[in-house]
């Protein structure tokens, strides 16, 4: 059962982002708010003020958008130990590491394919129901990538909670933490 995050228009963006980390991504995806300096907001701005500044009249809909994004984030996250179990079971899925080449040089998983930034179309041609797990250092960038794929119609997308740091802490302590 999902727990709905309580968000009020009088809350500051700092409070909202603390309660609902996916709010930044949700606001940008749906309303183009918060992704650049021209559409940004200050942490001290209230949600009501942000909506007013961006000519959004339906503040309750913005609240619902944030709440739904938190629900999606909870559903797509999968733990490192579950991924390890899938690998041990030889389950058919794609494990894609979205970290930079410099990060991959520090620590990587043999089972993970580095994201091919030179050929992004390669992934868009995968079957929309393909099981895909994205991973990064801490689980935040991989959530962004998972949200991107969900937005493009993929239905079985996950993000490894805690990223390679969780893998090192929960599965294989020999994997360097950085």
Question: Which sign does the torsion angle of CA 158, 18, 32, 3 carry?
Answer: positive
DSSP 44-57: TSBHHHHHHHTT--
Half-sphere exposure of 1 (CA within 13 A, CB side): 1
DSSP 12: B
Catalytic residue among 36, 39, 51, 136: 136
- Cβ-in-10-Å burial (0-12, 13-18, 19+) of 101 comes to exposed
Clarify whether 136 is annotated catalytic.
yes
- What span, in angstroms and rounded, lies between the C-alpha atoms of 167 and 138? 10
Phi/psi of residue 135, nearest 5 degrees: -140, 155
Q: Which two tokens stand for residue 135?
A: 């991973």
Q: Which residues are catalytic?
A: 136
């Amino acid at each position: 059962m999902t727990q709905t995050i309580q968000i009020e228009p009088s809350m500051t963006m700092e409070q909202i982002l603390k309660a609902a980390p996916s709010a930044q991504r949700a606001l940008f995806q749906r309303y183009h708010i918060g992704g650049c300096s021209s559409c940004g907001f200050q942490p001290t701005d209230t949600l009501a003020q942000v909506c007013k500044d961006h000519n959004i009249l339906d503040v309750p809909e913005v609240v619902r958008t944030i709440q739904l994004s938190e629900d999606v984030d909870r559903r797509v996250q999968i733990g490192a130990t579950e991924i390890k179990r899938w690998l041990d079971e030889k389950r058919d899925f794609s494990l894609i590491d979205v970290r930079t080449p410099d990060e991959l040089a520090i620590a990587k998983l043999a089972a993970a394919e580095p994201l091919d930034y030179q050929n992004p179309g390669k992934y868009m041609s995968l079957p929309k129901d393909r099981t895909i797990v994205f991973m990064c250092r801490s689980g935040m960038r991989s959530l962004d990538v998972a949200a991107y794929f969900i937005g493009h119609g993929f239905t079985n997308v996950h993000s490894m909670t805690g990223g390679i740091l969780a893998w090192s802490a929960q599965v294989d302590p020999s994997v360097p933490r950085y």
